[in-house]
Structure 1
Amino acid sequence: MDIFKRQNIVECAVRFQSDLDCKKYLSEVKWASGYNCRKSGHQGSQIRKDFSRTCNKCSDTESPGAGTLFHKVKFGLLKAFHTCFEMTTTTKGMLVLQVGRRYGIRPDTTRVFMHIVREAMKSSGNYPLDGEVHVDEFVVGGKESERPGRSYGGKKKKVVCAIQLTKEGKVKRFYGLQIKDFSAKSLRPIFERHIAKDAKVTTDEWKGYRPIAKDFYITQIPSEFGLNFKALHTAIHQVKSWIRTTFSWVSKPHFDRYLSEYSFRLNRSQIKPGIFHNLIGRMVNSDKIYINNLV
Protein backbone atom coordinates (compact mmCIF):
# COMPACT_ATOMS: atom_id res chain seq x y z
CA MET A 1 0.00 0.00 0.00
CA ASP A 2 0.99 3.64 -0.44
CA ILE A 3 1.57 4.72 3.16
CA PHE A 4 0.71 8.35 3.82
CA LYS A 5 3.77 9.99 5.42
CA ARG A 6 3.10 13.68 4.89
CA GLN A 7 2.96 16.27 7.67
CA ASN A 8 1.26 19.01 5.66
CA ILE A 9 -2.48 19.46 6.22
CA VAL A 10 -2.97 20.51 2.58
CA GLU A 11 -1.42 17.26 1.39
CA CYS A 12 -3.65 15.39 3.82
CA ALA A 13 -6.69 17.16 2.35
CA VAL A 14 -5.59 16.20 -1.16
CA ARG A 15 -5.01 12.54 -0.25
CA PHE A 16 -8.24 12.14 1.73
CA GLN A 17 -11.00 14.06 -0.06
CA SER A 18 -13.96 11.77 0.71
CA ASP A 19 -15.14 8.97 2.96
CA LEU A 20 -14.37 6.59 0.09
CA ASP A 21 -10.68 7.64 0.10
CA CYS A 22 -10.56 6.91 3.82
CA LYS A 23 -12.29 3.54 3.40
CA LYS A 24 -9.73 2.55 0.78
CA TYR A 25 -6.83 3.42 3.09
CA LEU A 26 -8.52 1.76 6.06
CA SER A 27 -9.13 -1.43 4.10
CA GLU A 28 -5.46 -1.58 3.07
CA VAL A 29 -4.37 -1.23 6.69
CA LYS A 30 -6.97 -3.66 8.02
CA TRP A 31 -6.29 -6.42 5.51
CA ALA A 32 -2.59 -5.77 4.97
CA SER A 33 -1.82 -9.38 5.97
CA GLY A 34 -4.69 -10.83 4.01
CA TYR A 35 -8.42 -11.30 4.47
CA ASN A 36 -9.94 -13.82 6.86
CA CYS A 37 -13.72 -14.02 7.11
CA ARG A 38 -14.87 -13.16 10.62
CA LYS A 39 -17.51 -15.93 10.46
CA SER A 40 -16.12 -18.79 8.40
CA GLY A 41 -12.40 -18.02 8.49
CA HIS A 42 -12.28 -18.36 4.69
CA GLN A 43 -9.59 -16.29 2.95
CA GLY A 44 -11.22 -15.80 -0.43
CA SER A 45 -13.28 -12.65 -0.97
CA GLN A 46 -14.62 -10.10 -3.41
CA ILE A 47 -13.88 -6.38 -3.05
CA ARG A 48 -16.91 -4.09 -3.28
CA LYS A 49 -17.04 -0.52 -4.60
CA ASP A 50 -16.90 0.83 -1.04
CA PHE A 51 -13.89 -1.47 -0.34
CA SER A 52 -15.92 -3.83 1.81
CA ARG A 53 -15.06 -7.53 1.52
CA THR A 54 -17.61 -10.27 0.80
CA CYS A 55 -16.60 -13.80 1.73
CA ASN A 56 -16.67 -16.26 -1.18
CA LYS A 57 -17.82 -19.04 1.14
CA CYS A 58 -20.53 -17.63 3.42
CA SER A 59 -21.25 -14.31 1.63
CA ASP A 60 -20.68 -12.30 4.82
CA THR A 61 -19.84 -8.70 3.96
CA GLU A 62 -17.47 -6.79 6.22
CA SER A 63 -16.84 -3.06 5.91
CA PRO A 64 -13.35 -1.56 6.41
CA GLY A 65 -14.50 0.10 9.64
CA ALA A 66 -16.12 -2.97 11.19
CA GLY A 67 -14.31 -4.17 14.30
CA THR A 68 -12.16 -1.05 14.44
CA LEU A 69 -12.41 2.12 16.52
CA PHE A 70 -13.84 3.84 13.44
CA HIS A 71 -16.90 1.58 13.51
CA LYS A 72 -20.13 3.58 13.14
CA VAL A 73 -18.39 6.91 13.72
CA LYS A 74 -21.23 9.43 13.74
CA PHE A 75 -19.67 12.14 11.59
CA GLY A 76 -18.06 10.11 8.81
CA LEU A 77 -14.59 8.72 8.17
CA LEU A 78 -13.30 11.84 6.42
CA LYS A 79 -13.69 14.05 9.49
CA ALA A 80 -12.38 11.24 11.70
CA PHE A 81 -9.23 10.83 9.58
CA HIS A 82 -8.53 14.56 9.58
CA THR A 83 -9.03 14.71 13.35
CA CYS A 84 -6.51 11.87 13.78
CA PHE A 85 -4.09 13.63 11.45
CA GLU A 86 -4.19 16.85 13.44
CA MET A 87 -3.92 15.07 16.79
CA THR A 88 -0.73 13.35 15.62
CA THR A 89 0.95 16.23 13.80
CA THR A 90 0.18 19.20 16.05
CA THR A 91 2.75 20.03 18.73
CA LYS A 92 0.31 21.71 21.12
CA GLY A 93 -2.69 19.40 21.12
CA MET A 94 -6.24 20.15 20.01
CA LEU A 95 -9.17 21.53 21.97
CA VAL A 96 -12.58 19.88 21.70
CA LEU A 97 -14.30 23.14 20.73
CA GLN A 98 -11.56 23.89 18.20
CA VAL A 99 -11.98 20.52 16.46
CA GLY A 100 -15.77 20.71 16.70
CA ARG A 101 -15.93 24.11 15.00
CA ARG A 102 -13.38 23.17 12.37
CA TYR A 103 -15.23 20.04 11.24
CA GLY A 104 -18.80 20.86 12.22
CA ILE A 105 -19.10 18.22 14.94
CA ARG A 106 -21.04 18.53 18.20
CA PRO A 107 -18.73 19.11 21.21
CA ASP A 108 -19.91 16.01 23.11
CA THR A 109 -19.40 13.81 20.05
CA THR A 110 -15.98 15.34 19.43
CA ARG A 111 -14.93 14.83 23.04
CA VAL A 112 -15.83 11.14 22.99
CA PHE A 113 -14.02 10.49 19.72
CA MET A 114 -10.87 12.31 20.85
CA HIS A 115 -10.80 10.21 24.01
CA ILE A 116 -11.13 7.10 21.84
CA VAL A 117 -8.11 8.29 19.84
CA ARG A 118 -6.16 8.90 23.06
CA GLU A 119 -7.01 5.36 24.21
CA ALA A 120 -5.52 4.07 20.96
CA MET A 121 -2.40 6.15 21.66
CA LYS A 122 -1.71 4.30 24.92
CA SER A 123 1.55 2.42 25.04
CA SER A 124 1.42 -1.30 24.36
CA GLY A 125 4.18 -1.83 26.92
CA ASN A 126 6.10 -3.96 24.43
CA TYR A 127 9.05 -1.57 24.19
CA PRO A 128 10.13 -0.65 27.73
CA LEU A 129 12.66 2.07 28.42
CA ASP A 130 16.21 0.75 28.59
CA GLY A 131 19.71 2.11 28.94
CA GLU A 132 19.91 5.20 31.11
CA VAL A 133 16.53 6.05 32.65
CA HIS A 134 15.55 8.86 35.05
CA VAL A 135 12.38 8.75 37.17
CA ASP A 136 10.67 11.48 39.20
CA GLU A 137 7.25 12.59 40.43
CA PHE A 138 5.40 15.89 40.10
CA VAL A 139 1.99 17.45 40.61
CA VAL A 140 -0.26 19.28 38.17
CA GLY A 141 -2.85 21.78 39.31
CA GLY A 142 -3.35 25.31 40.55
CA LYS A 143 -2.53 26.68 43.95
CA GLU A 144 -4.69 25.52 46.83
CA SER A 145 -4.91 27.18 50.18
CA GLU A 146 -2.98 25.34 52.87
CA ARG A 147 -1.78 22.81 50.29
CA PRO A 148 1.54 24.12 48.95
CA GLY A 149 3.82 22.02 46.75
CA ARG A 150 3.47 18.25 46.60
CA SER A 151 0.38 17.82 48.75
CA TYR A 152 -1.50 14.51 49.00
CA GLY A 153 -5.10 15.73 48.97
CA GLY A 154 -7.08 18.30 47.05
CA LYS A 155 -7.58 18.56 43.30
CA LYS A 156 -3.94 18.34 42.27
CA LYS A 157 -3.02 15.45 39.98
CA LYS A 158 -0.02 13.42 41.06
CA VAL A 159 2.17 11.95 38.33
CA VAL A 160 5.24 9.74 38.16
CA CYS A 161 7.21 9.91 34.94
CA ALA A 162 10.22 8.22 33.40
CA ILE A 163 12.49 9.24 30.53
CA GLN A 164 15.08 7.37 28.52
CA LEU A 165 18.16 9.43 27.73
CA THR A 166 20.20 9.52 24.56
CA LYS A 167 24.00 9.33 24.65
CA GLU A 168 23.99 13.14 24.57
CA GLY A 169 21.79 13.28 27.67
CA LYS A 170 18.61 14.39 25.86
CA VAL A 171 15.13 12.94 26.14
CA LYS A 172 14.61 9.99 23.81
CA ARG A 173 11.33 8.60 25.18
CA PHE A 174 8.86 9.57 27.90
CA TYR A 175 6.09 7.86 29.86
CA GLY A 176 3.88 9.20 32.63
CA LEU A 177 1.24 7.69 34.89
CA GLN A 178 -1.20 9.31 37.27
CA ILE A 179 -0.73 8.03 40.82
CA LYS A 180 -2.80 8.08 44.00
CA ASP A 181 0.11 9.06 46.25
CA PHE A 182 3.90 8.89 46.35
CA SER A 183 4.19 5.52 48.09
CA ALA A 184 6.23 2.63 46.67
CA LYS A 185 2.97 0.83 45.82
CA SER A 186 1.87 3.73 43.59
CA LEU A 187 5.31 4.26 42.05
CA ARG A 188 5.90 0.61 41.13
CA PRO A 189 3.50 0.36 38.12
CA ILE A 190 5.56 2.67 35.91
CA PHE A 191 8.58 0.44 36.51
CA GLU A 192 6.67 -2.74 35.71
CA ARG A 193 4.90 -1.35 32.63
CA HIS A 194 7.49 0.89 31.04
CA ILE A 195 11.02 0.18 32.33
CA ALA A 196 13.19 -2.80 31.40
CA LYS A 197 14.64 -4.89 34.22
CA ASP A 198 18.20 -4.25 33.05
CA ALA A 199 17.77 -0.46 32.68
CA LYS A 200 20.06 1.75 34.74
CA VAL A 201 17.52 3.82 36.66
CA THR A 202 18.43 6.99 38.54
CA THR A 203 16.04 8.69 40.98
CA ASP A 204 16.27 11.27 43.73
CA GLU A 205 16.47 10.21 47.36
CA TRP A 206 12.72 9.82 47.91
CA LYS A 207 12.16 6.81 50.20
CA GLY A 208 9.34 5.44 48.04
CA TYR A 209 11.88 4.06 45.55
CA ARG A 210 13.79 1.97 48.11
CA PRO A 211 11.48 -1.08 48.12
CA ILE A 212 11.42 -1.07 44.29
CA ALA A 213 15.24 -1.24 44.19
CA LYS A 214 14.96 -4.92 45.15
CA ASP A 215 13.63 -5.70 41.66
CA PHE A 216 15.21 -2.96 39.52
CA TYR A 217 18.70 -1.52 39.18
CA ILE A 218 18.11 1.84 40.91
CA THR A 219 20.67 4.43 41.96
CA GLN A 220 19.47 7.24 44.22
CA ILE A 221 21.28 10.58 44.23
CA PRO A 222 20.49 14.05 45.59
CA SER A 223 18.35 16.13 43.27
CA GLU A 224 20.24 19.34 44.00
CA PHE A 225 17.14 21.36 43.09
CA GLY A 226 16.88 19.52 39.77
CA LEU A 227 20.46 20.13 38.64
CA ASN A 228 21.17 16.38 38.56
CA PHE A 229 18.04 15.74 36.49
CA LYS A 230 18.05 18.57 33.96
CA ALA A 231 16.55 16.63 31.05
CA LEU A 232 13.89 15.08 33.25
CA HIS A 233 12.85 18.39 34.79
CA THR A 234 12.75 19.98 31.34
CA ALA A 235 10.38 17.21 30.21
CA ILE A 236 8.21 17.73 33.29
CA HIS A 237 8.09 21.48 32.65
CA GLN A 238 7.04 20.86 29.04
CA VAL A 239 4.24 18.49 30.08
CA LYS A 240 2.91 21.00 32.59
CA SER A 241 3.13 23.85 30.09
CA TRP A 242 1.34 21.80 27.42
CA ILE A 243 -1.54 20.99 29.75
CA ARG A 244 -1.87 24.51 31.18
CA THR A 245 -1.65 26.36 27.87
CA THR A 246 -3.78 23.99 25.79
CA PHE A 247 -6.54 22.81 28.11
CA SER A 248 -8.45 24.95 30.56
CA TRP A 249 -9.10 21.95 32.79
CA VAL A 250 -8.28 18.23 32.75
CA SER A 251 -10.21 15.89 35.06
CA LYS A 252 -8.53 13.09 36.98
CA PRO A 253 -10.43 10.24 35.23
CA HIS A 254 -9.13 11.41 31.84
CA PHE A 255 -5.67 12.57 32.87
CA ASP A 256 -3.84 9.35 31.89
CA ARG A 257 -5.24 9.68 28.36
CA TYR A 258 -3.70 13.14 27.98
CA LEU A 259 -0.38 11.75 29.19
CA SER A 260 -0.70 8.99 26.58
CA GLU A 261 -1.33 11.56 23.85
CA TYR A 262 1.73 13.55 24.88
CA SER A 263 3.92 10.44 25.09
CA PHE A 264 2.69 9.13 21.73
CA ARG A 265 3.81 12.27 19.89
CA LEU A 266 7.05 12.77 21.80
CA ASN A 267 8.19 9.16 21.48
CA ARG A 268 7.73 9.33 17.71
CA SER A 269 9.35 12.71 17.21
CA GLN A 270 12.19 11.03 15.30
CA ILE A 271 9.82 9.13 12.99
CA LYS A 272 7.18 11.78 12.37
CA PRO A 273 6.49 10.80 8.74
CA GLY A 274 4.94 7.53 9.91
CA ILE A 275 3.04 8.76 12.97
CA PHE A 276 -0.36 9.17 11.29
CA HIS A 277 -0.16 5.73 9.69
CA ASN A 278 0.89 4.29 13.05
CA LEU A 279 -2.22 5.74 14.70
CA ILE A 280 -4.54 4.43 11.99
CA GLY A 281 -3.03 0.98 12.56
CA ARG A 282 -3.71 1.28 16.28
CA MET A 283 -7.30 2.38 15.64
CA VAL A 284 -7.74 -0.72 13.48
CA ASN A 285 -6.14 -3.22 15.85
CA SER A 286 -7.21 -1.85 19.27
CA ASP A 287 -9.70 -3.70 21.43
CA LYS A 288 -13.27 -2.44 21.50
CA ILE A 289 -13.77 0.64 23.69
CA TYR A 290 -17.13 1.24 25.36
CA ILE A 291 -18.35 4.81 25.69
CA ASN A 292 -19.50 4.15 29.27
CA ASN A 293 -15.84 3.65 30.17
CA LEU A 294 -14.90 7.00 28.63
CA VAL A 295 -17.55 9.35 29.95
Structure 2
Amino acid sequence: MTTLRLGVEERYREFAEGEFAVMAIVNRTPDSFFDQGATFAFDKAIEAADQAVTQGADIIDVGGVKAGEGEPLPVEEEIERTVPFIAALRTMHPRVLISIDTFHEAVARAAVAAGADLINDTWAGWDKGIYAAAADTGAGLVCSHTGGLAPRTIVKKAVYDDVVDQVRRDLVTSAEYAVQRGVRPDGILIDPTHDFGKHTYHSLELTRRLGELAATGWPVLVALSRKDFIGETLDLPPKERLFGTLGATAVSALNGARMFRAHDVRATRELLDMVATIQGSREPKAPMRSL
Protein backbone atom coordinates (compact mmCIF):
# COMPACT_ATOMS: atom_id res chain seq x y z
CA MET A 1 0.00 0.00 0.00
CA THR A 2 2.74 2.45 -0.92
CA THR A 3 1.22 4.00 -4.05
CA LEU A 4 -1.58 6.53 -3.54
CA ARG A 5 -4.07 6.93 -6.39
CA LEU A 6 -6.50 9.85 -6.69
CA GLY A 7 -8.69 11.36 -9.40
CA VAL A 8 -10.27 10.05 -12.57
CA GLU A 9 -9.53 10.15 -16.29
CA GLU A 10 -7.47 13.19 -17.28
CA ARG A 11 -6.67 14.20 -13.69
CA TYR A 12 -5.77 10.71 -12.46
CA ARG A 13 -2.61 10.84 -10.36
CA GLU A 14 -0.40 8.27 -8.74
CA PHE A 15 1.87 9.35 -5.91
CA ALA A 16 4.62 6.79 -5.51
CA GLU A 17 6.64 6.26 -2.36
CA GLY A 18 9.19 9.08 -2.12
CA GLU A 19 6.93 11.56 -3.95
CA PHE A 20 5.59 14.40 -1.81
CA ALA A 21 2.19 15.99 -2.48
CA VAL A 22 1.21 19.51 -1.42
CA MET A 23 -2.42 20.10 -0.43
CA ALA A 24 -3.25 23.81 -0.59
CA ILE A 25 -5.78 25.19 1.87
CA VAL A 26 -8.64 27.34 0.53
CA ASN A 27 -11.17 28.05 3.28
CA ARG A 28 -14.60 29.35 2.28
CA THR A 29 -15.14 30.55 5.83
CA PRO A 30 -15.36 34.04 7.34
CA ASP A 31 -13.63 33.02 10.58
CA SER A 32 -10.69 30.71 9.85
CA PHE A 33 -8.00 30.88 12.53
CA PHE A 34 -5.15 31.97 10.23
CA ASP A 35 -6.48 34.19 7.45
CA GLN A 36 -9.66 35.38 9.19
CA GLY A 37 -11.80 34.95 6.09
CA ALA A 38 -9.37 36.11 3.39
CA THR A 39 -10.80 33.55 0.92
CA PHE A 40 -14.43 33.65 2.03
CA ALA A 41 -15.41 35.79 -0.98
CA PHE A 42 -15.82 33.68 -4.10
CA ASP A 43 -13.44 35.73 -6.25
CA LYS A 44 -10.76 35.75 -3.55
CA ALA A 45 -11.04 31.98 -3.24
CA ILE A 46 -10.60 31.58 -7.00
CA GLU A 47 -7.53 33.84 -6.90
CA ALA A 48 -6.04 31.82 -4.04
CA ALA A 49 -6.64 28.53 -5.85
CA ASP A 50 -5.11 29.87 -9.08
CA GLN A 51 -2.05 31.02 -7.16
CA ALA A 52 -1.74 27.69 -5.37
CA VAL A 53 -1.78 25.78 -8.65
CA THR A 54 0.86 28.12 -10.08
CA GLN A 55 3.03 27.64 -7.00
CA GLY A 56 2.99 23.86 -7.24
CA ALA A 57 -0.03 22.54 -5.34
CA ASP A 58 -1.05 19.01 -6.26
CA ILE A 59 -4.44 19.23 -4.63
CA ILE A 60 -6.74 22.04 -3.43
CA ASP A 61 -8.49 21.41 -0.11
CA VAL A 62 -11.79 23.29 0.14
CA GLY A 63 -13.50 23.77 3.49
CA GLY A 64 -16.70 25.53 4.48
CA VAL A 65 -16.55 25.26 8.28
CA LYS A 66 -13.65 26.23 10.53
CA ALA A 67 -12.26 23.44 12.68
CA GLY A 68 -12.36 25.46 15.89
CA GLU A 69 -15.26 26.04 18.26
CA GLY A 70 -18.14 28.16 17.04
CA GLU A 71 -21.81 28.23 16.14
CA PRO A 72 -23.07 25.17 14.21
CA LEU A 73 -23.42 25.71 10.47
CA PRO A 74 -26.37 24.14 8.64
CA VAL A 75 -25.32 21.50 6.13
CA GLU A 76 -27.13 23.39 3.39
CA GLU A 77 -24.99 26.46 4.02
CA GLU A 78 -21.79 24.40 4.07
CA ILE A 79 -22.78 22.99 0.69
CA GLU A 80 -23.49 26.46 -0.65
CA ARG A 81 -20.06 27.68 0.48
CA THR A 82 -18.11 24.79 -1.03
CA VAL A 83 -19.88 22.98 -3.87
CA PRO A 84 -20.36 25.84 -6.39
CA PHE A 85 -16.73 26.80 -5.78
CA ILE A 86 -15.56 23.23 -6.41
CA ALA A 87 -17.61 23.12 -9.63
CA ALA A 88 -16.01 26.38 -10.82
CA LEU A 89 -12.55 25.20 -9.83
CA ARG A 90 -13.07 21.94 -11.69
CA THR A 91 -13.96 23.86 -14.87
CA MET A 92 -11.02 26.26 -14.54
CA HIS A 93 -8.45 23.59 -13.62
CA PRO A 94 -9.65 20.30 -15.11
CA ARG A 95 -6.44 18.46 -14.18
CA VAL A 96 -5.97 19.64 -10.60
CA LEU A 97 -7.05 17.37 -7.77
CA ILE A 98 -9.64 18.72 -5.34
CA SER A 99 -10.47 17.64 -1.82
CA ILE A 100 -13.45 18.54 0.35
CA ASP A 101 -12.75 19.21 4.03
CA THR A 102 -15.97 18.09 5.72
CA PHE A 103 -17.34 15.73 8.35
CA HIS A 104 -20.82 15.48 6.78
CA GLU A 105 -21.85 12.75 4.34
CA ALA A 106 -24.23 15.04 2.45
CA VAL A 107 -21.53 17.65 1.85
CA ALA A 108 -19.04 15.00 0.78
CA ARG A 109 -21.43 13.49 -1.75
CA ALA A 110 -22.36 16.88 -3.22
CA ALA A 111 -18.70 17.90 -3.44
CA VAL A 112 -17.62 14.70 -5.21
CA ALA A 113 -20.53 15.09 -7.64
CA ALA A 114 -19.21 18.60 -8.39
CA GLY A 115 -15.67 17.33 -9.06
CA ALA A 116 -13.88 16.60 -5.76
CA ASP A 117 -11.51 13.63 -5.69
CA LEU A 118 -10.79 13.23 -1.99
CA ILE A 119 -12.89 13.47 1.19
CA ASN A 120 -10.78 15.01 3.95
CA ASP A 121 -12.73 14.00 7.05
CA THR A 122 -10.92 15.74 9.89
CA TRP A 123 -13.32 14.46 12.55
CA ALA A 124 -12.55 10.76 12.40
CA GLY A 125 -15.76 9.31 10.97
CA TRP A 126 -18.10 11.16 13.32
CA ASP A 127 -20.68 10.85 10.51
CA LYS A 128 -20.39 7.17 9.58
CA GLY A 129 -21.99 7.98 6.23
CA ILE A 130 -18.64 9.46 5.18
CA TYR A 131 -17.39 5.92 4.51
CA ALA A 132 -20.36 5.13 2.30
CA ALA A 133 -19.88 8.43 0.43
CA ALA A 134 -16.29 7.50 -0.42
CA ALA A 135 -17.18 3.90 -1.26
CA ASP A 136 -20.13 4.79 -3.50
CA THR A 137 -18.35 7.55 -5.42
CA GLY A 138 -14.84 6.09 -5.67
CA ALA A 139 -13.37 9.14 -3.94
CA GLY A 140 -10.31 8.89 -1.73
CA LEU A 141 -10.67 9.27 2.02
CA VAL A 142 -8.54 10.76 4.81
CA CYS A 143 -8.87 8.83 8.07
CA SER A 144 -8.07 11.18 10.95
CA HIS A 145 -7.58 10.90 14.71
CA THR A 146 -9.32 13.15 17.22
CA GLY A 147 -9.26 11.06 20.39
CA GLY A 148 -13.04 10.58 20.26
CA LEU A 149 -13.92 14.28 20.26
CA ALA A 150 -17.16 15.54 18.78
CA PRO A 151 -16.62 17.92 15.84
CA ARG A 152 -15.39 21.43 16.63
CA THR A 153 -14.63 20.78 20.28
CA ILE A 154 -11.39 21.07 22.25
CA VAL A 155 -10.45 18.50 24.85
CA LYS A 156 -9.94 19.95 28.36
CA LYS A 157 -7.14 17.58 29.30
CA ALA A 158 -5.64 15.16 26.76
CA VAL A 159 -4.26 11.95 28.27
CA TYR A 160 -2.61 8.99 26.51
CA ASP A 161 -0.37 6.23 27.86
CA ASP A 162 1.58 6.42 24.58
CA VAL A 163 0.09 8.88 22.12
CA VAL A 164 1.93 7.52 19.07
CA ASP A 165 0.99 3.91 19.76
CA GLN A 166 -2.65 4.87 20.38
CA VAL A 167 -2.88 7.03 17.27
CA ARG A 168 -1.21 4.33 15.16
CA ARG A 169 -3.59 1.62 16.34
CA ASP A 170 -6.68 3.82 15.97
CA LEU A 171 -5.74 4.96 12.46
CA VAL A 172 -5.02 1.45 11.23
CA THR A 173 -8.39 0.37 12.62
CA SER A 174 -10.09 3.29 10.83
CA ALA A 175 -8.37 2.56 7.52
CA GLU A 176 -9.23 -1.14 7.71
CA TYR A 177 -12.83 -0.26 8.60
CA ALA A 178 -12.98 2.00 5.54
CA VAL A 179 -11.83 -0.85 3.32
CA GLN A 180 -14.46 -3.13 4.86
CA ARG A 181 -17.07 -0.49 3.99
CA GLY A 182 -15.94 -0.49 0.35
CA VAL A 183 -13.50 2.44 0.18
CA ARG A 184 -10.64 1.92 -2.29
CA PRO A 185 -7.51 0.88 -0.33
CA ASP A 186 -5.26 2.84 -2.69
CA GLY A 187 -7.25 6.03 -2.06
CA ILE A 188 -6.89 6.06 1.73
CA LEU A 189 -4.56 8.30 3.74
CA ILE A 190 -4.11 8.43 7.49
CA ASP A 191 -3.71 11.72 9.38
CA PRO A 192 -2.48 11.89 13.00
CA THR A 193 -4.35 15.20 13.15
CA HIS A 194 -1.99 17.32 15.20
CA ASP A 195 -3.66 19.45 17.92
CA PHE A 196 -7.03 17.66 17.66
CA GLY A 197 -7.60 15.88 20.96
CA LYS A 198 -3.93 16.40 21.82
CA HIS A 199 -1.75 18.90 23.63
CA THR A 200 1.49 20.36 22.31
CA TYR A 201 3.72 17.63 23.74
CA HIS A 202 1.58 14.99 22.02
CA SER A 203 1.84 16.74 18.66
CA LEU A 204 5.60 17.09 19.03
CA GLU A 205 5.91 13.39 19.91
CA LEU A 206 3.80 12.44 16.89
CA THR A 207 6.09 14.50 14.66
CA ARG A 208 9.23 13.01 16.16
CA ARG A 209 7.96 9.43 15.81
CA LEU A 210 5.96 9.82 12.60
CA GLY A 211 7.94 6.98 11.08
CA GLU A 212 5.91 4.58 13.19
CA LEU A 213 2.77 5.70 11.36
CA ALA A 214 4.47 5.54 7.97
CA ALA A 215 5.58 1.98 8.78
CA THR A 216 1.93 0.87 8.77
CA GLY A 217 1.99 1.07 4.97
CA TRP A 218 -0.83 3.59 4.79
CA PRO A 219 0.20 6.94 3.19
CA VAL A 220 0.44 9.62 5.86
CA LEU A 221 -1.02 13.12 5.50
CA VAL A 222 0.07 15.81 7.95
CA ALA A 223 -1.75 19.08 8.54
CA LEU A 224 0.84 21.14 10.39
CA SER A 225 0.41 24.56 8.89
CA ARG A 226 0.67 27.31 11.55
CA LYS A 227 -0.99 25.11 14.17
CA ASP A 228 -1.11 25.78 17.90
CA PHE A 229 1.57 23.23 18.81
CA ILE A 230 3.97 25.24 16.64
CA GLY A 231 2.78 28.52 18.15
CA GLU A 232 3.12 27.20 21.69
CA THR A 233 6.55 25.72 20.97
CA LEU A 234 7.86 29.07 19.71
CA ASP A 235 5.45 31.41 21.55
CA LEU A 236 4.26 32.97 18.29
CA PRO A 237 0.86 33.94 16.84
CA PRO A 238 -0.43 32.26 13.63
CA LYS A 239 0.92 34.98 11.32
CA GLU A 240 4.48 34.31 12.55
CA ARG A 241 4.53 30.51 12.45
CA LEU A 242 5.80 29.89 8.91
CA PHE A 243 9.38 28.99 9.81
CA GLY A 244 8.25 26.70 12.59
CA THR A 245 5.80 25.07 10.19
CA LEU A 246 8.55 24.47 7.65
CA GLY A 247 10.77 22.92 10.31
CA ALA A 248 8.02 20.51 11.32
CA THR A 249 7.32 19.82 7.64
CA ALA A 250 10.93 18.85 6.94
CA VAL A 251 11.03 16.50 9.93
CA SER A 252 7.73 14.94 8.87
CA ALA A 253 8.95 14.43 5.31
CA LEU A 254 12.13 12.76 6.53
CA ASN A 255 10.01 10.55 8.77
CA GLY A 256 7.79 9.31 5.96
CA ALA A 257 4.84 11.69 5.52
CA ARG A 258 3.55 11.78 1.94
CA MET A 259 1.00 14.64 1.74
CA PHE A 260 1.24 18.06 3.40
CA ARG A 261 -1.73 20.37 3.97
CA ALA A 262 -0.39 23.92 3.78
CA HIS A 263 -1.30 27.59 3.72
CA ASP A 264 2.08 28.55 2.23
CA VAL A 265 2.30 26.55 -0.97
CA ARG A 266 5.46 27.86 -2.58
CA ALA A 267 7.56 27.59 0.59
CA THR A 268 6.23 24.09 1.27
CA ARG A 269 6.78 22.95 -2.31
CA GLU A 270 10.38 24.16 -2.40
CA LEU A 271 11.18 22.63 0.98
CA LEU A 272 9.73 19.26 -0.04
CA ASP A 273 11.52 19.32 -3.40
CA MET A 274 14.78 19.91 -1.55
CA VAL A 275 14.11 17.05 0.88
CA ALA A 276 13.16 14.71 -1.98
CA THR A 277 16.32 15.61 -3.90
CA ILE A 278 18.53 15.04 -0.87
CA GLN A 279 16.83 11.68 -0.35
CA GLY A 280 17.48 10.78 -3.99
CA SER A 281 13.89 10.46 -5.23
CA ARG A 282 14.04 13.69 -7.30
CA GLU A 283 16.67 15.14 -9.64
CA PRO A 284 17.95 18.75 -9.30
CA LYS A 285 16.25 21.08 -11.78
CA ALA A 286 19.37 22.85 -13.07
CA PRO A 287 22.61 21.13 -12.03
CA MET A 288 25.64 22.96 -13.48
CA ARG A 289 28.30 23.65 -10.86
CA SER A 290 31.61 21.88 -11.62
CA LEU A 291 29.97 19.33 -13.90
**TM-score, normalised by the number of residues in structure 1:** 0.24
- Please give the TM-score of this superposition, normalised by the length of structure 2: 0.25
Higher relative contact order (CA 8 A, sep 6+): 1
Higher radius of gyration, 1 or 2:
1
